[in-house]
Amino acid sequence: MGGLTQDRQICERRTNTRTLEELFYIAYIMYTYYVNPDRKCRCEIEEAMDYLLNLREEYQNEQNEKCYK
């Protein structure tokens, strides 16, 4: 039976097959919590992603300013 991984060892108790969407949900939503470093509190994945995207944009802007000086 094909799945998302190629298991080399058989484990009889593992009978469920998961879709990529289910695996993402389990790994990134169910079992993970996120913290906003600015507010020092827990947040949703969307807020954490926004924070990282803003950080990347700030870094890129700083790098661009250095190049044009």
At 18, phi and psi to the nearest 5? -115, 145
Per the confidence metrics, is the pTM higher than 0.75? no
Give CA angle at 55 (51, 63), nearest 5°. Answer: 170
**CB burial class (10 A; 0-12, 13-18, 19+) of residue 40?**
exposed
**Residue ranges per domain, the chain?**
20-29+40-67
Q: What number is the average pLDDT over the span 27-44? A: 96
As a dihedral over the C-alpha atoms of residue 26, residue 37, residue 58, residue 32, rounded to 10 degrees, the angle is -10
Q: What pLDDT sits at residue 1?
A: 43
pLDDT in tens, 15-24: 888 899 999 9
Closest CA to 5 of 30, 14, 29, 13: 14
